[in-house]
Amino acid sequence: MTRSADALRPHERAVTTPTGFDAGLWFIGRIRTPWHRRSDCPHRGDAETGPDCHIEVFGPWDAALAGVGAHENLQILYWMDHARRDLVLQNPKFGDSATGTFALRSPVRPNPVASSVVRLLAVDGPVLTVRGLDCLDGTPLIDIKAAFGAMT
Amino acid sequence: MTRSADALRPHERAVTTPTGFDAGLWFIGRIRTPWHRRSDCPHRGDAETGPDCHIEVFGPWDAALAGVGAHENLQILYWMDHARRDLVLQNPKFGDSATGTFALRSPVRPNPVASSVVRLLAVDGPVLTVRGLDCLDGTPLIDIKAAFGAMT
Q: CB distance B102–A140 less than 8 Å?
A: no
- Average pLDDT of chain B is 93
* pLDDT by 10s per residue, chain A, length 152: 456 556 899 999 999 999 999 999 999 999 999 999 989 999 889 999 999 999 999 999 999 999 999 999 999 999 999 999 999 999 988 899 999 999 999 999 999 999 999 999 999 999 999 999 999 999 999 999 999 865 45
What's the rounded Cα separation, in Å, for the pair B45 and B48?
9
Interface residue of A111, A116, A117, A120 to substitute, partner B, most B CBs within 10 Å: A111
- Can you list the pairs that B92-100 forms with residues at least 24 positions away whose Cβ atoms lie under 8 Å? B94/B9, B94/B10, B95/B11, B96/B11, B97/B11, B98/A66, B98/B9, B98/B10, B98/B11, B98/B12, B98/B13, B99/A66, B99/A67, B100/A63, B100/A64, B100/A65, B100/A66, B100/A67, B100/A68
Percent above pLDDT 70 for chain B: 93
Q: CB distance B64–A88 less than 8 Å?
A: yes
Confidence of residue B124 (pLDDT cuts 50, 70, 90): very high
| Partner-chain residue, chosen from B64, B89, B143, that has the shortest CB–CB distance to A113 | B143
Q: CB distance B111–A142 less than 8 Å?
A: yes
Instruction: Report the gap between the CA of A125 and the closest CA in chain B (Å).
Output: 13
Give the residues across from A56 on adjacent strands.
A30, A127
Give the DSSP H/E element, type plus range, for residue B55. strand B53-57
Pairing of strands B13-14, A99-100: unpaired
Of the listed ranges A1-5, A36-40, B13-17, B23-27, the least confidently predicted one is A1-5
For B66, B85, B97, B118, the CA distances from A88, given in Å and listed in that order, are 9, 31, 46, 21
Pairing of strands A99-100, A87-90: antiparallel
**Closest chain A CA to residue B145:** A102
Indicate whether B80 pLDDT > 60: yes
- Residues present in chain B in total: 152
CA B39 centroid distance within chain? 15
Domains by residue range for chain A, with CATH:
24-146 (2.40.30.70)
What ipTM does this complex have? Answer: 0.94
A63 in contact with B at a CB cutoff of 8 Å?
yes
What's the rounded Cα separation, in Å, for the pair A130 and A117?
10
Which residues does chain B have within 8 Å of residue A25's beta carbon, measured at their own beta carbons? 21-25, 111
DSSP string covering A110-148: SS-EEEEEEEEEEEETTEEEEE---S-TTEEEEEEEE--
pLDDT of residue A4: 59
Instruction: Report the gap between the CA of A76 and the closest CA in chain B (Å).
Output: 10
Confidence of residue B75 (pLDDT cuts 50, 70, 90): very high
Within 13 Å, how many C-alpha atoms sit on residue A89's CB side? 14
Indicate whether B5 pLDDT > 70: no
Number of CB pairs, chain A paired with chain B, less than 8 A apart? 195
Confidence of residue B3 (pLDDT cuts 50, 70, 90): low
| Partner-chain residue, chosen from A81, A89, A150, that has the shortest CB–CB distance to B149 | A150
The whole-model pTM stands at 0.95
Indicate whether B126 pLDDT > 90: yes
Indicate whether B1 pLDDT > 60: no
